[in-house]
Amino acid sequence: MANPEILYSGINDDVVFGSNVRVIQPVNLYGCTLGDNCFIGPFVEIQKNVTIGANTKIQSHTFVCELVTIGNNCFIAHGVMFINDVFKKGGPAGGDKNLWKNTIIGNNVSIGTNATILPVKITDNVVVGAGAVVTKDINEPGIYVGNPAKKIKSF
């Protein structure tokens, strides 16, 4: 019987922290940048090439994959999933990171519990409702809900 390779989650040395960042363990953070006054809840994974803006709060059980940028003063609720692979070839990209796409979240954006965010751009001043699936860019401030997410209210 073979022995498995055991790896441990944690905070790697290559994470860049702004001032006054609070992180609740256990987390898995590597190769990312966290702005001033960020809060990262437990059971969060933030992968490399991710930037989180100042004063942003990321709640527990959230997954932020590579190539995501989240602006300042954002709130990412429990269990939000960011996706960078849209299965362009009919299945997972695997090691071909050229098939992955960026996600850009503006400032003052709130994303509700269990929302799924595909590779999109979301403008400033947006609320994404709980359980929403964002499949297209959001270019106007407002409240978006559903699957696929649709605008239900303007600000």
Catalytic residues: 78
Max CA pair span of the chain: 61
**CA Rg, the chain, in Å?**
16
CA pair distance 6, 102, nearest whole angstrom: 30
Q: At which residue do the structure tokens 């860019």 appear?
A: 137
Token code pair at residue 10: 């944690």
